[in-house]
Amino acid sequence: MSERRATIASRVGLHLRPAALFAEAAARLPVEVTIARDGAPVQDALNAASVLAVLSLGAECGDVVVLRAEGADADVALASLAAFLERDLDAE
């Protein structure tokens, strides 16, 4: 299991538009990725490809989330998603 922490850069937090962009990106990856708030139990992690799951985290700007995935491509996948969260998606 690979793990990667990311700090939400979007000024409005993971609201509709950034959450949708993120979930779309996660869905395109070859591995299944989960997302959870930092410190939440692993079994509570949610499907990162689900826009509803991502929204339901209610993550605000500055909050830290944990991305997890299994498999050979996991590290690359997580790095790309983390980079995604660490940009201000709403400003783009």
Partner 1 sequence: MRIFSGAGVSPGRITGVVRRMPRPVREPAPGERRAVSVSAGQAAADLRAASHSVQTELQSRAEQATGDAKAILAATAMMAADPMLMRSALDLIDGGSSAEGALWDAAASVAGMLRGLGGHMAERAADVLDIRARIIAILRGVPAPGVPSSATPYILVAEDLAPADAATLDPAMVLALVTSGGGPASHTAILARALGLPAVVAAAGADELTDGVEICVDGVTGTVVVDPDNAARAGLQVSPRATTTVGGQTTTAAAAGFDGDGRLADGYVLPLLANVGSARDAATAAAAGAQGIGLLRTELYFLDHTSEPSIQQQRKAYRAVLDAFPGKKVVLRTLDAGADKPLPFLAIANAAAEPNPALGIRGYRTERVRPGVLERQLEAIASAAAGAEAEVWVMAPMISTAEEAGKFAGRCAAAGLKTCGVMVEVPSAALTAEPILSRVDFVSIGTNDLTQYVMAADRQLGALAALNSPWQPAVLQLISHTVAGAAAEGGHKPVGVCGEAAADPALAVVLAGLGVSTLSMTPRSLAGVGAVLGSVSLELAQELAGVALDSSSATGARARVRARLPMLERLGL
What residues act catalytically? 15
CA-closest candidate to residue 35, choices 17, 14, 12: 14
* Among the listed residues 7, 11, 37, 47, the single contact to partner 1 using CB under 8 A: 47
The closest of 89, 71, 70, 74 to 23, measured between CA atoms, is 89
In the complex, the smallest distance separating the C-beta of residue 74 from partner 1, rounded to whole angstroms, is 18
Site string for partner 1, 15-44 (x = CB under 8 A): xxx-xx--xx--x-----------------
Based on CB atoms, which residue is closest to partner 1, 50 or 80?
Answer: 50
Radius of gyration in angstroms for the set of CA atoms belonging to the chain, rounded to a whole number: 12
